A and B are shown apart, each in its own frame.
Chain A
Amino acid sequence: MSIRHSLLALLQDQPRYGYQLRVEFEHRTGSTWPLNIGQVYTTLDRLERDGLVSNDGSDGEGHVVYSITAAGKAEVQNWFAAPVERNNPPRNELAIKLALAVTLPGVDVQAIIQAQRVASIRALQDYTKARRDTAANQRAADTAWLLVLDSLIFQTEAEVRWLDLCEARMLQQAQTAGQATPRKTSNGVTVEEAAPLIADNRR
């Protein structure tokens, strides 16, 4: 998340002081990413140093007001125009954990997958409930929170689907590699017994 660009975008709306920026940011993003007020002031200092905002002095009540410069407006325009940069590839603890688990002897990967599946479904239940409750209220201010919840729902659903795929692929590999010694999965099923599941999962 770019605090720098978010604050600039808010200043394009109108001149504001630090605390106003924090409140406005949280309001518009459904309070999903709480901002530390210290972060706001540090960022404003840097934006001023880079010529993207100007310090307009005090508003008479002790607040230092900032406004956006022409260079700042151009920066906001570029930010909105450019797609969000993807970390390449994004760090994903779950993927790293499974990648290590499948390469280490004696690790019950299926148990890891199932534990994660339960946790992910539970999170998905909570997001879905929150989305339902929020949608039922139908307040305009909730639009941002709904968008954030939708994003979380899609991400979590993708995670569950990926776990299903991991499991199916592992069972298939175990079946190919371990024909001689029937291996039990975490659920006490031999790979031979589980084989039809792979075909079903891959449909």
Chain B
Amino acid sequence: MSVQGPQQVLELAKVSRTFGEGATAVAALREVDLSIRAGEFVAVMGPSGSGKSSLLALAGGLDRPTSGGVFVESTPLGGLELNELARLRRRAVGYVFQDFNLVPTLTAAENVALPLELDGTASRKAQRQALDALCQVGIPELADRFMDQMSGGQQQRVAIARAIVGDRRLILADEPTGALDSTTGHGVMEVLRGRADAGAAVMLVTHEARHAAWADRVVFLRDGRIVDQAAAMHDPAMLLAQAGH
């Protein structure tokens, strides 16, 4: 069993994931240990194929490890029935995908309210919380728009609003700035950082150093293993020393 502090929102303990069997088996993750506390923003970097997206899928209970344990707020995901897992995902975990995964026949506010309503929240309350989330990502005026009336950047903001709605404690984002221009990408990072500062645990998968730099900790994956970590020093005197001035 795992030993966790009270603030540990996500813990992966010796997590391995292998696809296929025998000679054609591919190890996507090999005995990965990773914990994220409440209020901590962790970025995961590594080349394509290094296991980044597998890690995110396991962290959110979208996939199950071949061995090892995944814990969200001390709950072992491996011990949950499918319906319990789905419930935990709706309540505690928010996802942001690169390709948005929004429902085209729903408005922005309806898309954002969807996970709450699926979880039994009254429609009016869900709509109110959805509007609040849309405010946080800076597009409350687009609440009644359908997806085909919005730009890629606006759709991604809706997707982020859906991930943070209702006070999610764990936010998982997979290359959320992939299709966006740099200004919009910056805005996405501001929202994720804001959620972490407000107490959520955030895990971001990215290949952009510029975006990873918003995190408190950067984890480097290679060939399914964590090979390095970098934590910010936050020492202003060091900044200039590093810059060579």
Q: Which residue of A lies closest to B224 (CB)?
A: A189
* CB within 8 Å of A: which B168-218 residues: 193, 209-210, 212-216, 218
What are the interface flags for A96-133 relative to B under an 8 Å C-beta threshold, 1 for contact and 0 otherwise? Answer: 00000000000000000010011111111111111010
Contact-residue size bin, chain B (C-beta under 8 Å from the other chain): 20 to 34
Q: Which residue of A lies closest to B223 (CB)?
A: A189
Residues in A neighbouring B214, C-beta threshold 8 A? 125, 128, 132
Chain A CB count within 10 A is highest, among B210, B229, B233, B243, for B243
What are the interface flags for B66-90 relative to A under an 8 Å C-beta threshold, 1 for contact and 0 otherwise? Answer: 0000000000000000000000000
B240 contacts A32, CB within 8 Å?
yes
B48 contacts A120, CB within 8 Å?
no
Main secondary structure of the interface of B (DSSP, over half): mixed
User: 19 pairs across A/B with beta carbons < 8 Å?
Assistant: A32-B243, A114-B227, A119-B230, A121-B209, A121-B218, A122-B218, A122-B232, A125-B216, A126-B238, A126-B242, A128-B210, A152-B239, A157-B210, A160-B209, A187-B227, A193-B223, A194-B223, A196-B48, A196-B49
User: Measured between alpha carbons, how far is A122 from B47 in the docked complex, in Å?
Assistant: 18
Residue of A34, A117, A122, A203 touching B231 (CB-CB under 8 A): A122
Q: Which residue of B lies closest to A158 (CB)?
A: B209
Shortest C-beta distance, B93 to chain A (Å), equals 25
Residues in B neighbouring A59, C-beta threshold 8 A? none
Shortest C-beta distance, B223 to chain A (Å), equals 5
Told that A121-B45, A121-B213 touch, could you supply 12 new A-B pairs with CB distance under 8 A?
Answer: A114-B228, A122-B231, A122-B233, A125-B231, A127-B213, A128-B213, A129-B232, A152-B243, A160-B209, A197-B47, A197-B50, A203-B48
Q: Top 5 A-B pairs ranked by shortest CB distance?
A: A200-B48, A125-B232, A124-B213, A160-B209, A128-B213
Shortest C-beta distance, A43 to chain B (Å), equals 18
Q: Which residues of A contact B (CB under 8 A)?
A: 32-34, 114, 117-130, 132, 152-153, 156-157, 160-161, 187-189, 193-194, 196-197, 200-201, 203
